[in-house]
């Protein structure tokens, strides 16, 4: 939502309790609140930050401007979870309250070291002429959630990047801490810088090199790069902006992409054997995905269900954005799969055979099989006038299509109203998680994923089978 700069950058302490109360009241009026997804209490939620395992629990922060549905003075909001399904928001915040993050505590990562959580993030600093100085800075968080920021800047803006230099991700590789940072070169190309912690001291970083990963494309900026390891294979997740459509078929304003690589040569800052660039998600919104290698060996990721520079129907209620389910990454037959963590089944409250339903709670999971040589069409968020979110699984042609043009309140239609991906011409499954205004579709247990918002109007909560012979289960989900 458009909002004047002086409102977006107003000091947190200047907002009166009455203004905050009004925002709170307005948020409550929305008919679209999710039940088992993280949403901001107020204001805008964007990137997942600091996703990690700390003090025996999972930690997940989110980027937030708390005073409305706009990108303003950002903070990190803390949540924690034991099962990666139920998250509790605590009172802990990484506030923009230091000279090194005066215009926003921007995105970053976290890692538990010696009983404390190291937070590595971008301090967005602007001078009186609004010229930006992006600083990579750090803090320690203790078990009580007390945050102590470092006085020293960890990485200053190098002289070969523009003001677009942000989103440090710390990771450990063979016992050594590394970090990658998204950057824009002086000739406006997106790239990634690799650093390492000198003597493994995370308060001291040195530059290793510009990360080589099989060639960057036409993007002008890479946001939120993440390097994770799946069965020892490096997987680079990133959000390139301005990528030419000839290099990758995508429709969203910016895609969220990945490359699977074979090995990581730390000396030469090179990911060797990188695949072509691929879409991480085929839905209408998934961005800034963050991942980490959990101590139990799983590779976990979570995505922002939202996109930069897009207005949403919830904006009038002073909030925007949600967090995806936590997904586990695996590689099968050389292909990357993403699927919600096993504990997600704990939300299943009741089970019945999949069939048409004139009304639902819009909080359910479908586990559906689409036979080979068939074309099935389902309507979710359906009403009795034939409106709804249309999912077409065509196993004859090998294509899945999601059409939002008749689903709820329309928005972002400039970017098209349908999305598609290819599948094998064979029996196909879909696990579909619906949560009031969110839908996450996992084709063939996560071989392809569609993450999207839908903002249903009154009475748009049915399921219709328009054609084909899908069969399976319907699970009512309860948080």
Q: Which is nearer to ligand FRU, 168 or 313 (CB)?
A: 168
Using only C-alpha atoms, what is the Rg of the chain? Answer: 22
Q: Judged by CB under 6 A, which of 52, 59, 63, 75 binds ligand FRU?
A: 63
Q: Are 226 and 257 in contact (CB under 8 A)?
A: no
Alpha carbons 440 and 432: distance in angstroms, whole number: 6
Residue 208: partners with Cβ closer than 8 Å, 6 or more residues away: 178, 194, 195, 196, 266, 267, 269
Name which of 224 and 341 has its Cβ closer to ligand FRU. Answer: 224
- C-beta closer to ligand FRU: residue 46 or 59: 46
CB-nearer residue toward ligand FRU: 226 or 461: 226
Least gap, CB of 378 to ligand FRU (angstroms): 32
- 74 part of the interface to ligand FRU, by CB under 6 A: yes
Q: Of 71 and 212, which CB lies nearer to ligand FRU in the complex structure?
A: 71
Q: Are 400 and 442 in contact (CB under 8 A)?
A: no
Among residues 45 and 368, whose Cβ is nearest to ligand FRU? 45
Compute the least distance from the CB of residue 443 to ligand FRU, in Å. 26
Whether 47 is catalytic: yes
Nearer to ligand FRU, 49 or 392 (CB): 49
Is 47 among the residues that bind ligand FRU (CB under 6 A)? yes
Cα torsion for 137, 134, 264, 200, to the nearest 10°?
-20
288 binds ligand FRU (CB under 6 A): yes
Minimum distance between the CB of residue 290 and ligand FRU, rounded to whole angstroms? Answer: 10
Least Cβ distance, residue 166 to ligand FRU (angstroms): 5
Min dist CB 434 to ligand FRU, Å, is: 25
Q: Is 166 in the site for ligand FRU (CB under 6 A)?
A: yes
Residue 256 within binding range of ligand FRU, rule CB under 6 A: no
Could you tell me which of 164, 156, 228, 229 has the C-alpha nearest to residue 191? Answer: 164
Binder to ligand FRU among 8, 32, 45, 46 (CB under 6 A)?
46
Q: Least CB distance from residue 182 to ligand FRU, whole Å?
A: 6
Whose Cβ is closer to ligand FRU: residue 94's or residue 224's?
224
Examine residue 167 and tell whether it contacts ligand FRU (CB under 6 A): yes
Report in angstroms how near the CB of residue 342 gets to ligand FRU at its nearest: 29
Total residues binding ligand FRU (CB under 6 A): 13
Stretch 94-133: interaction string toward ligand FRU, x if CB under 6 A: ------------xx--------------x-----------
Query: Comparing C-alpha atoms, which of 296, 237, 292, 254 is closest to residue 120?
Result: 292
Residue from 47, 101, 210, 394 carrying the catalytic annotation: 47
Hey, which residues between 433 and 472 contact ligand FRU (CB under 6 A)?
none
Smallest gap, in angstroms, from Cβ of residue 82 to ligand FRU?
Answer: 28
Kindly identify the residues of this chain, within the stretch 304-323, that bind ligand FRU according to CB under 6 A.
308
Binding site for ligand FRU (CB under 6 A): 46-47, 63, 74, 106-107, 122, 166-167, 223-224, 288, 308
The residues assigned a catalytic role are 47
């Amino acid at each position: 939502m458009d909002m004047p700069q002086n409102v977006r950058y107003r000091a947190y302490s200047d907002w009166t309790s009455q203004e905050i109360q009004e925002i709170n009241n307005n948020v409550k009026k929305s008919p679209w609140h999710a039940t088992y997804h993280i949403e901001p209490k107020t204001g805008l939620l964007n990137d997942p930050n600091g996703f990690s395992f700390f003090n025996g629990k999972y930690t997940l922060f989110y980027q937030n401007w708390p005073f409305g549905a706009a990108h303003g003075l950002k903070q990190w909001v803390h949540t924690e979870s034991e099962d990666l399904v139920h998250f509790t928001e605590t009172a802990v915040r990484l506030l923009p309250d230091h000279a090194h993050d005066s215009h926003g505590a921007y995105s970053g990562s976290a890692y538990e070291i010696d009983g404390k959580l190291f937070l590595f993030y971008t301090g967005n600093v602007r001078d009186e002429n609004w010229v930006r100085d992006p600083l990579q800075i750090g803090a320690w968080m203790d078990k009580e959630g007390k945050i102590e920021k470092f006085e020293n800047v960890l990485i200053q803006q190098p002289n070969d990047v523009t003001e677009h230099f942000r989103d440090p991700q710390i990771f450990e590789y063979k016992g050594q801490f590394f970090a990658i940072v998204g950057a824009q070169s002086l000739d406006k190309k997106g790239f990634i810088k690799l650093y390492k912690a000198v003597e493994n001291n995370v308060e001291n970083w040195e530059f290793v090199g510009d990360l080589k990963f099989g060639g960057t494309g036409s993007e002008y900026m890479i946001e939120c790069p993440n390097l994770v390891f799946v069965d020892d294979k490096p997987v680079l997740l990133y959000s390139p902006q301005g990528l030419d459509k000839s290099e990758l078929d995508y429709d969203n304003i910016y895609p969220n992409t990945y490359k699977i690589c074979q090995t990581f040569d730390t000396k030469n800052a090179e990911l060797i054997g990188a695949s072509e660039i691929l879409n991480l998600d085929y839905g209408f919104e998934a961005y800034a995905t963050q991942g980490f290698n959990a101590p139990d060996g799983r590779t976990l990721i979570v995505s922002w269900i939202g996109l930069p520079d897009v207005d949403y129907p919830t904006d009038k209620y002073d909030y925007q954005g949600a967090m995806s389910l936590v997904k586990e990454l695996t590689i099968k037959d050389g292909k990357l799969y993403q699927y919600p963590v096993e504990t997600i089944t704990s939300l299943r409250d009741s089970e019945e055979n999949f069939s048409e339903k004139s009304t639902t709670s819009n909080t359910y999971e479908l586990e559906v099989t689409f036979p080979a040589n068939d074309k099935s069409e389902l309507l979710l968020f359906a009403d009795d006038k034939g409106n709804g979110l249309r999912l077409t699984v065509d196993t004859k042609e090998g294509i899945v299509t999601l059409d939002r043009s008749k689903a709820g309140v329309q928005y972002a239609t400039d970017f098209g109203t349908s999305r598609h991906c290819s599948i094998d011409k064979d029996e196909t499954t879909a696990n579909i998680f619906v949560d009031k205004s969110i839908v996450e579709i996992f084709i063939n247990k996560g071989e392809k994923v569609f993450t999207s918002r839908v903002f249903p109007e009154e009475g748009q909560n049915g399921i219709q089978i328009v054609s084909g012979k899908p069969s399976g289960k319907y699970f009512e989900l309860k948080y």
